[in-house]
Amino acid sequence: MFQSVVTNSPLRVSIVGAGATDVELAAELSRLLEVASSYGDPSLRSRLNLTVYESAPRVLAAFPPAVSESSEEQLRHIGFTVRTGTRVTAAEPDGLRLGDGSQQAADLMVWAAGVKAPDFLGKLDGIESNRSNPIIVRPTLQTQDDDTLFALGDCPTLTLAGKEHPLAPTAQVATQQARHLAKYLPAWLDGGSLPDFAFHDFGALVSLSDYNAFGTLGQFGVFRGGFIKGRFAQLSHAMLYRQHQHALHGFRKAMTLWTAERIKGFVQPKIRLS
């Protein structure tokens, strides 16, 4: 980016993957450069050539189609080229290599496709894992062959009965699994039974910087399966973040953090240019 500012040259940014992290990153990057443009180089944003590559037929494949469609529309609206159904096979010094053998030149490449567990997880003796290394667990979160070994959060993979895909590696799943084990493990240690883990989908949200936010309210909230967008979705996203802070730090510290962030937002510039 610095080179682009100095030499007035175009800046080609490619993001590989269009999951929640990638889509949020794309929007933040665009917003950041809009703000940077206002610091003396109004043409900076227009020199940007932004592309998102996704092998699945739509962005945010794990989200309901309404969220995908709205997010893709928003990305295109802020100037991204969205190439779905396009597999990237390698990142090379000058750009990305695509599945059809072609090369797409890029100055800045961000690879954010796929979630892979560390290799050592796939090599643990007597513990079954799949190609991406996560430990395969039973619905009780016990490993396949050992009742005394449990795995939860991002490190296991679990496909619930009647479901086509495994549970996504998200904080929502990790937290519910932790609560499940915290609740039932003491009784199990005393010889009781261990019920299967049941996932309650409270929905998912994706925030596209200041532009917009989209989400679904899941199957267990008050407005089941509802689609939300705009200010309400942005507010829900912000509240989720505060909720996490509250869970981690408690009420007083969370309030102090919130106040400190409000003051910082008021006195500090929105971006660092160094």
Ligand X SMILES: Cc1cc2nc3c(=O)[nH]c(=O)nc-3n(C[C@H](O)[C@H](O)[C@H](O)COP(=O)(O)OP(=O)(O)OC[C@H]3O[C@@H](n4cnc5c(N)ncnc54)[C@H](O)[C@@H]3O)c2cc1C
Q: Which residues of this protein are in contact with ligand X, per CB under 6 A?
A: 20-21, 153-154, 169-172, 174
Paired tokens of 211: 């532009």
Q: How far apart are CA 61 and CA 22, in angstroms?
A: 12
Exposure of 56 in the CB half-sphere (CA atoms within 13 A): 14
Residue 174 or 185 having the CB closest to ligand X = 174
* Minimal distance, residue 69 CB to ligand X, in Å: 20
Residue 21 or 84 having the CB closest to ligand X = 21
* Minimal distance, residue 105 CB to ligand X, in Å: 26
Paired tokens of 122: 């796939």
Residue 153 or 166 having the CB closest to ligand X = 153
Residue 11 or 152 having the CB closest to ligand X = 152
Residue 39 or 116 having the CB closest to ligand X = 116
Residues 265, 234: contact at Cβ < 8 Å? no
Residue 51 or 176 having the CB closest to ligand X = 176
Q: How far apart are CA 98 and CA 94, in angstroms?
A: 13
User: Which residue is at the shortest CB distance from ligand X?
Assistant: 153
* Minimal distance, residue 178 CB to ligand X, in Å: 7
* Minimal distance, residue 205 CB to ligand X, in Å: 7
Cα 177–168–174 angle (5° rounding)? 25
Burial per residue of 217-252, b for 16 or more beta-carbon CB atoms within 10 angstroms, e otherwise? bbeeeeeeeebbbeeebbebbeebeeeebbeeeeee
Q: Tell me which residue of 65, 97, 78, 46 sits closest to 211, measured CA to CA.
A: 78
* Minimal distance, residue 257 CB to ligand X, in Å: 18
Q: How far apart are CA 200 and CA 180, in angstroms?
A: 11
Q: Tell me which residue of 202, 198, 192 sits closest to 226, measured CA to CA.
A: 202
